[in-house]
Structure 1
Amino acid sequence: MTPPTDDIDSGCPLLFGRVLDGNGGGRIIEWAEAQKWVPAGPNEVIWLHVCRTEPGVQQWLEEGLGIPESTAELLTSDATRPRAFRDGETLVATLRGINFNPGAEPEDMISMQLWSDGRRLITLRRHALQTPREVLAMIDRGVGPPDAGATITLLAEMLITRMSQAIVDMNSVLDELEDDDPDEHAEAMLKRISTIRRNCLGLKRHMAPQHEALELISRDAPSWFEDDDRREIAESIARLRRYLDDIDISKESALVLQDELRARSLASSEHATYMLTIVAGIFLPLSFLTGLLGINVGGVPGLDDPDAFWQVAGLCALLFVALIVVFRRLRWL
């Protein structure tokens, strides 16, 4: 079977559609048939994955599915903060996943809106998202979810599971930075650490509301949402909570490493300044003496003495040794 793609035909908002048979499989359904679909059996459920930016999507939601205007606007809007609510026997939610598209950063989250009444499941997205395509591949192999509740649960679970890869990648970078030589790559290391901290903040800011949305689904889902689905959602919530804790740990580790690098850089700078101060303290009296003897006025001692130079040089050497001794006794050296 052809691998699922996320491409759309011009003028058709449907990315893919399947009619679930209740046993883990499903048949392909096209856009024309999907708009007039009615269940042929008690276990049939239709799942349509739609590009919400295509023209006519909101109108289809309102007129074709009977979704209230305010809900249809939410499903097609750019208000992508994770949330969920129940409207009678329908469930509406907005979830977010990691953006693994080329050139994207982990904190560039992708949103996915969903609406379901138990017999129909509509998921909507703006940018390509890998999770729905993975679930679709499972259905095409006959090992997918049997109904709408299980599909929603699996989508939420896989969105959360993909977070672990981003966290593992960040921790791997932190481990590499801890083993790197800060004296040679301090500036590059600080830049990478700042990127990790920014990613951690972005993940925490986007995923923390998803925790609340999943809790609402688990607590207040419609009756067609089975007990097994609620338990799976509870497991996903627990996993998300652990990931959020891991993000906090990664952020603190990055902060500790960043502070250590900055402290080492500051200590190196302070040591250089200290050594320059010591050198200046040693040579300042010598410079004063030689400058005093070099003034171009009458009466300078030794002006006519051929041995005066060596006498001054010896005096400077004695003064240099005396200053070294004094500095050592003061523990400046």
Structure 2
Amino acid sequence: MSGFGYRIIGGKAERVAIKTALSQDAELIWVHLSTNDEHAQAWLRDEAKLQDYVVDALTAVETRPRCEAFDEGALLNLRGRAQDGAPGVNGDLLASVRIWAVRGHVFSVTRKAMIAVEEVQKQVETGDVHDPGDLIAEFAASITEDLDPHVADLGDELDDCEEALDANRVFELRRKVSRVRVESIGYKRFLQPQRAALEKLAALPCDWLQDDDRLHLNAAADRAARMAEELESIRERSALMHEALTDLRAEQIDTRGLIIAVVAMVFLPLTFITGLYGMNVPLPYQHAPWMFDAITATCAAITAGVVIYFVQRHWFRL
């Protein structure tokens, strides 16, 4: 079982071992577990004395952002970017953190290393966290601050694709647009319920949530809503961009097919004439010294006539 613990007294944080964290006297005890194995479940149940439904929620395999109030505590699930940037359980692009908070104690659990956890640790060590409300507000703020520029980068990548729209780069652009679209859908899937979870937590009648904590939670919820709206715009733009690239590719194929058809129409009568005079049977004037020049001139005239016809019909441009 891996993780860490902090004891906070008077705004000063001291890192402590998980085994001895609950035996410490402090204004706030924060224990973070970075695994969900049986040892973690046993510790949460036997040492932390948490109820079974809380332990099950903290160690569940699949989670979605939500907030539930139980007695004097609150259970909160949030999603943030993982440290390695790789998809998590079931291909999810975001890692989850599950938090159980009561007065004086906060327990958090992650299956994958999350960038926001390190940021929250820094804030705790600098003395900015004094109670469970401050800690949860730091989690919400760190997650949104880390995710916001990444969402903006997705929009910038899509802008670059729109500026670089070219028939010769269709396959490259389609791969890039598809990746942006998949990521935007993956992020938006969790940002909408995350906004609702933060707003619900801010409205809970918990005595360990101060007014400034509620303001920070509402600010994080508003930021999550703005990112969700931006991701929806990116998703729609990606779909339109994909359709434009498909149309551009189809137009490119039609143009090439037209060129091949024109070339075939030019050489079809020429092939007939050369094939006719290539037969091993007696033909009129086949031994005449001027016959080669006559056939060559006829082929040139037919070629010019076919090309001029296509140009006048606007089927082909020189």
Give the TM-score normalised by the residue count of structure 2. 0.88
Taking a change above 3 Å as real, the CA distance of residues 237 and 181 of structure 1, as seen in their structure-2 partners, is closer
Distance 2:315 2:112 in 1: 64
Return the letter of the residue paired with 1:98: R
2:222 counterpart of 1:235: no
Q: Are 2:54 and 1:94 aligned? A: no
- Show the 5 A alignment for 1:143-162: 144-162=128-146
1:71 and 1:126, CA in 2 relative to 1: closer, same or farther beyond 3 A? same
Preserved CA contact (<8 Å) 1:118 1:225: no
Three-state SS of the structure 1 residue aligned to 2:206 is coil
Kindly tell me: are residues 79 and 322 of structure 1, through their superposed partners in 2, closer, same or farther at Cα, counting changes over 3 Å?
Answer: closer
2:103 equivalent in structure 1 = 118
- The one of 24, 29, 42 aligned to 2:16: 29
Shift of 1:103: 5.5
Q: SS in structure 2 opposite 1:272?
A: helix
Amino acid at match of 1:112: V
Q: Please give the per-residue CA displacement for 1:295-318, whole angstroms capped at 9, x wherever unaligned.
A: 3334x2212322222222222223
Gaps of 5+ in 1: 1-11
Residues 99 and 107 of structure 1 are in contact (CA less than 8 Å); yes or no, is this contact kept in structure 2? no
Cα gap change, 1:141 to 1:228, in 2 (>3 Å): closer
What is the CA-CA distance between 1:178 and the residue it aligns to? 3.8
Query: Compared with structure 1, are the counterparts of its residues 52 and 81 closer, same or farther at alpha carbon in structure 2 (3 Å cutoff)?
Result: same
Distance 1:193 1:272 in 2: 25
Structure 1 counterpart of 2:263, which letter? V
Counterparts of 1:9-24 in structure 2, within 5 Å, are 13=2, 15-22=3-10, 24=11
Counterpart Cα distance in 2 of 1:318 and 1:127: 75
Deviations 1:110-154 (A, max 9, x none): 111111112111111122223222222222222x12210121111
2:257 counterpart residue number = 273
CA distance in 2, matches of 1:25, 1:85: 30
SS of the residue 2:64 aligns to: coil
CA spacing shift, 1:32–1:215, aligned 2, 3 Å: same
Q: How big is the shift at 1:55?
A: 4.1
Cα distance in 2 for partners of 1:85, 1:102 equals: 28
Q: How far apart, in 2, do the equivalents of 1:62 and 1:170 lie?
A: 42
In structure 2, distance between residues paired with 1:57 and 1:170: 37
Residues 188 and 228 in structure 2, CA contact (< 8 A), matched pair in contact too: yes
Counterpart of 1:133 in structure 2 is 118
Distance across 2 between alignment mates of 1:182 and 1:247: 25
Give yes or no for contact 1:98–1:107 (8 Å, CA) kept in 2: no
What is the CA-CA distance between 1:47 and the residue it aligns to?
1.2
Q: Measured at CA, do residues 54 and 36 of structure 1 come closer, stay the same or move farther in structure 2, by a change above 3 Å?
A: farther
5+ residue gaps in structure 2? none
Q: Does the CA-based 8 Å contact 1:118-1:149 persist in structure 2?
A: no
CA distance in 2, matches of 1:215, 1:83: 10
The percent identity for this pair of structures is: 24
- Larger deviation, residues 200-209 vs 220-229: 220-229
CA shift digits 1:262-320 (9 cap, x unpaired)? 3333222211111111121122122223323333334x221232222222222222322
Contact 2:22 / 2:29 at 8 angstroms: preserved in 1? no
Q: 1:262 to 1:329 in 2, by over 3 A?
A: same
User: Which residue pairs with 1:332 in the alignment?
Assistant: 315
Give 1:7's aligned residue: none
Contact in 1 for aligned 2:83/2:113 (Cα 8 Å): no
